[in-house]
Amino acid sequence: MDQACLLCDPVRAGADLFRIQVWEDGLWRLSTTLFGAIPGFSYLEPKRHIPHLTDLDGPEAATFGPIMAKVTSALRAATGASLVYVYVFGGGIPHLHVHLAPHRDGDALNSDVIRGALTSEKLPSGATVMRSTEFPPRPEPELRAAADAIRAHLTS
C-alpha cells in the first residue's frame, strides 16, 4: 500500500471519484461510477499498489485474464450491453486501473481510437481498417522492425 496513492485507499477513492465498490476478492476490486453518461462504467484495480500495466506481476498477473473475463461478463449481463470496451491509460493516477465501459447502440461511447479525420478501407477478408487522414501509414519496414523487436523481447 502506498499511503500517497488515492486508489490504495478504496474508501477515499470512492468518495473522491464518485464511485462505489461492487466486488472484491483477495487481489482485485471492482468499483462502479455514480457519475457520467454510461451506466455500469467501472474500474478494475489490484488491491496491491501496482503503478502501471507494465508493472503487473505475481498473482495479479496470473489472475488478470480470468478476472477480466469474470467482471466484463458480469457488466455485460447486468447492463444489457452488447459488449464492454476496455481502456487502460498510463497517466493520471499511478495505480493500475482498467476502465470498463459497457456499450449499447446509441450511447455516448464510440469506437474511435485514432486521432483525426478517419477513412475506412474494406479488406478482402471483410474486415474494415480505419485510418487517420492526419497520420498516414508508417513504412512497412519500420512497422516490421517494431514487430521483430517485440518478438525478440518476448522470446529471449
Domain annotation covers residue 1: no
In tens digits, the chain (156 residues) has pLDDT values of 788 899 999 999 999 999 999 999 999 999 999 988 999 999 999 999 999 999 999 999 999 999 999 999 999 999 999 999 999 986 678 999 999 999 988 888 877 767 788 888 887 877 777 788 888 888 888 878 888 888 888 788
Query: What is the residue range of 140's domain?
Result: 118-155
Supply the DSSP symbol for 96: -
Give the C-alpha separation, 64 to 56, whole Å. 9
Taking the C-alpha atoms of residue 65 and residue 61, their distance in angstroms, rounded to an integer, is 8
Residue 34 within any structural domain of the chain? yes
- Helix (DSSP H) and strand (DSSP E) numbers for the chain: 3, 7
What single-letter amino acid sits at 113? V
* CA 15 – CA 55 distance, rounded (Å): 27
* R_g (Cα) of the chain, nearest Å: 18
Q: What is the CATH number of the domain that holds 98?
A: 3.30.428.10
Chain centroid to CA 154: 22
